[in-house]
Structures are given as C-alpha cells and as structure tokens.
C-alpha cells in the first residue's frame, strides 16, 4: 500500500469549506428530494453531515493509510440523518444517493489536491480506498438509524391504532377521535364496520388482517374497525381471513356512528349464542346485514314465543322428530313458493315425499296455508327458529325452545 507524504492532510484541508458548499449544491441538483433551500433543522443537519464527513476523513488521512475508519466520534450524526429520513417520509435511497454524490465530488477535488501534493499512484489508490470505505461506514450508520426509526414509527402507529380502537369502541366523541387521528397523521375511512372476534384473535389473525386499522381488546374479545366492509371484494377478503374465528361483522356506517355497528355486532353475537339466530350458525363470519329480520325477532324472544303459540299450534302435539321434519319442509315449501322439485332438491328427498309431507301440513294447518299474512308469519317464524341457509338445506331444529334457552333453536309452540 502506498504511503502518504508528510502534511498531506494540511494540503487537502485548503478549500475545505468551498468543497463543502460544492457538495451541498451538487446534492441539491442531483437528488430531487433535497432540491429545496437548506433551511431549519433539515439544512443544519445536511451541512453538519457534510462538514463532519470531511473533517473526519481528513483525520483518517492524518492517521495514515493503515488507520481503521473509526466512526465512533461522529456516528451519531449519520444515525440521526437516517432517522430524520423516516420522520420526513423519504426513502433511505435519497440519503445514500447524496452520500454517493458527495463521495464523487470529494474524490474529484481531494484526489486532484493529493496529486499536486506529490502523492504517488499507490498513495492515490490507498486514499480512494479510505474514502469509499468511510462512505460505506457512513451509509451503514444512516441505515441503522433509518431502521431504528422505522421500528419506532411502526410502534407508534400500532399504539395509535390501539388508542383509536379503544376510543371507537367506548363511544368517544367524534371531535376527540378525529383530533387523535390527525395528530398521528392517519385518516379514518369515511365508513367503517365493527368486527367482533370473540375469545381474542388466534396467532395468525393479525397477519390475516391488515394491521393498519383501529383495533382493541375488551375482556376476552378482540375488536377491529375496518373500512369498505360492504364492498363485495372486501367482504370476500374478510370472510376468507375470518373463517373459523367465530367473528361477527356489524353494519358499515359513517365512522362517527360506529357505536351503531358495535351494538349490533354485540347483540348478534349474544343472539347467536342464545340460539336465536340459527341461520347464522356455522364457522363462517356472521355478517349482520344478512340477518336483519332474524335480529329484529331476536330482540324480543317473548314476541317470538307468542307468534309460535299462535302459528305453530298444529305441530305441538306431534312427536319431536315428526315435528322437526314437517317444520323444515314447511319452511322450504314457503320459501320456494311451493315448487315441489326445488323443495325436494333442497331437502335431499324425493318429490313424492314432499307431496306427502305437504299433504300432512295441509291437514294440520287447513286454510291457514292459503292466507298470505299467515304464510308470511310462518316463514318469518320458521326462519328465526330453525333457520334456512341460502342454497342449502334447512338446519335441523334443536331443543324445544324458541326463546333460545336451550342449546339450540327449536320449533315447539309451547303449551
């Protein structure tokens, strides 16, 4: 390795201030993100970074070509520059580009000065190696600062989402929520749905759902507040990621009215557990908008009992198995407007069996089955008590209790 002649660092120091200004001008011209007046803390940071880099490099030259590029005394300057890029919302590439521009300008000027000072070819090679190793060290320090700031900002953002979730769930006034969101530089969707995941999320749920949304835990329940939940593609996305989690999705409303969605999701979950939403039972997420009629009836179990006593009395004296079989047949027959073939397909039975069961129902209910109001009430009641999944067979009835005090829905009209 070549040697540096005595006094090389003093020779290179001449015109150092002018070199710093030339570097800053080149950075502004070649790196678009920095093409603005170097004012305030940003300008001070860039100038100090350039000055520190040149001064530390000359100190290395003074120590000789074998000296290690120790950044300990100035590393914090470049760590802070990296952190500042995150806070400014810029890519680290901008800062690294600025370093490369600075290195090119510096080598052009310092290399020329070193040659005039008598540095031989081997010494020039050593000087170049020192310079670019030093730039590598500066770049690494800034990359460390950038990564650290990213981690901190991500933590702050996650804490903000937690805080916003708590505020939305608790019904904090809209102005306070909006202030918290704007302070954290986030914007809430105009419309959101409350999503209840009982028993807390499994380990994979946060990764299946975007973390960029308000969320909070309440007891053993986990709540998410998601935008655009009513869009078909978004709904499919939700259904896929919430599958098997026992989730309930409230209606999509203006975020200022999110308590409406929270209350409906909470009520739907309670009704489901009480057996008052049989059509919603299963592993798929419960979208409350799909069960509005059932939720209306579930609001007043006593009303459902009264309606059952009034309309399902003819089934009361039958054995449970017969009662259940005829009830599901009646529901399909009403829902499918008496189309025997479709009823048979839905229930996976022969059309003649449908004909036989409908004959039994007509013997039991008589002219009631021809009364539009009675038919409407019967279908509404049966949907609420034994359920009917679109495109699939009716769910078999459970214990004889329309108010849901048993382990599942029933169709008994009571005494």
Q: Reading across the β-sheet that carries 248-254, which strands appear in turn?
A: 215-218, 221-227, 191-197, 248-254, 286-287
Whether the pLDDT of residue 187 is over 80: the answer is: yes
48: Cβ contacts below 8 Å, ≥ 6 apart:
77
Reference 403, options 263, 321, 312, 299; nearest CA is 299
Domain span(s) for CATH 1.10.10.2840 in the chain: 302-385
> 195-213: per-residue pLDDT in tens?
999 876 666 675 567 568 8
Residues forming beta bridges with residue 224, ordered by sequence position: 195, 215
- Environment class of 36 (CB within 10 Å of its CB; exposed 0-12, middle 13-18, buried 19+): exposed
- Distance, in Å, from the CA atom of 364 to the CA atom of 324, rounded to the nearest integer, reads 14
Domain span(s) for CATH 3.30.70 in the chain: 188-296
Higher pLDDT, 152 or 413: 152
Give domain 302-385's CATH architecture.
Orthogonal Bundle (1.10)
pLDDT at 408: 34
pLDDT at 70: 55
CB 190 within 8 A of CB 254: yes
Give domain 188-296's CATH architecture.
2-Layer Sandwich (3.30)
Give the fold, CATH level 3, of 8-153: Globin-like (1.10.490)
- Distance, in Å, from the CA atom of 87 to the CA atom of 198, rounded to the nearest integer, reads 37
Q: Which residue has the tokens 């490099």?
A: 57
Whether the pLDDT of residue 88 is over 70: the answer is: yes
149: Cβ contacts below 8 Å, ≥ 6 apart:
82, 83, 84, 85, 86, 87
Band (395; pLDDT cuts 50, 70, 90) = very low
Please give the model's pTM, rounded to 2 decimal places: 0.57
Domain span(s) for CATH 1.10.490 in the chain: 8-153
Which of 36-50, 175-189, 288-302 is modeled with the greatest confidence?
Answer: 175-189
pLDDT at 341: 94
Mean residue pLDDT across the chain? 82
CB 123 within 8 A of CB 4: yes
SS3 state at 62:
helix
């Amino acid at each position: 390795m070549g040697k540096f002649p005595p006094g090389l660092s003093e020779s290179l120091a001449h015109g150092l201030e002018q070199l710093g200004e030339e570097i800053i001008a080149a950075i502004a011209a070649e790196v678009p993100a920095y093409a603005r007046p170097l004012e305030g803390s940003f300008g001070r940071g860039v100038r100090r970074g350039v000055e520190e880099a040149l001064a530390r490099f000359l100190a290395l030259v003074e120590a000789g070509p074998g000296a290690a590029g120790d950044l300990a005394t100035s590393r914090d300057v470049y760590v802070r520059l990296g952190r500042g890029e995150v806070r400014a919302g810029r890519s680290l590439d901008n800062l690294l580009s600025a370093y490369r521009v600075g290195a090119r300008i510096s080598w052009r000027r310092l290399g020329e000065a070193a040659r005039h000072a008598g540095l031989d070819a081997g010494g020039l090679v050593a000087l170049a190696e020192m310079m670019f190793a030093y730039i590598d060290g500066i770049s690494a320090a800034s990359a460390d600062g950038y990564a650290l700031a990213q981690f901190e900002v991500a933590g702050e953002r996650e804490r903000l989402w937690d805080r916003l979730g708590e505020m939305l769930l608790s019904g904090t006034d809209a102005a306070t929520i909006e202030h918290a969101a704007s302070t954290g530089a986030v914007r809430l969707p105009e419309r959101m749905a409350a999503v209840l995941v009982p028993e807390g999320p499994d380990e994979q749920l946060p990764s299946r759902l975007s973390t960029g949304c308000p969320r909070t835990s309440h007891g053993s329940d986990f709540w998410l507040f998601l935008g655009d939940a009513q869009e078909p593609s978004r709904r499919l996305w939700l259904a896929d990621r919430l599958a098997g989690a026992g989730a309930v999705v409230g209606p999509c409303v203006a975020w200022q009215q999110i308590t409406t969605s929270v209350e409906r999701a909470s009520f739907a979950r309670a009704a489901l557990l009480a057996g008052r939403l049989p059509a919603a039972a299963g592993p798929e997420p419960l979208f409350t908008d799909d069960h509005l009629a059932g939720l209306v009836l579930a609001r007043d179990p006593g009303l459902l009992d009264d309606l059952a006593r009034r309309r399902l009395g003819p089934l009361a004296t039958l054995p449970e198995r017969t009662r259940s079989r005829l009830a599901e047949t009646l529901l399909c027959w009403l829902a499918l407007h008496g189309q025997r073939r479709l009823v048979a397909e839905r229930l996976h039975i022969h059309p003649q069996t449908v004909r036989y069961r409908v004959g039994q129902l007509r013997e039991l209910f008589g002219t009631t089955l021809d009364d539009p109001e009675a038919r409407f009430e019967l279908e509404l009641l049966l949907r609420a008590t034994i359920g009917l999944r679109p495109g699939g067979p009716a769910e078999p009835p459970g214990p004889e209790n329309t108010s849901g005090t048993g382990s599942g829905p029933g169709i008994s009209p009571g005494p």
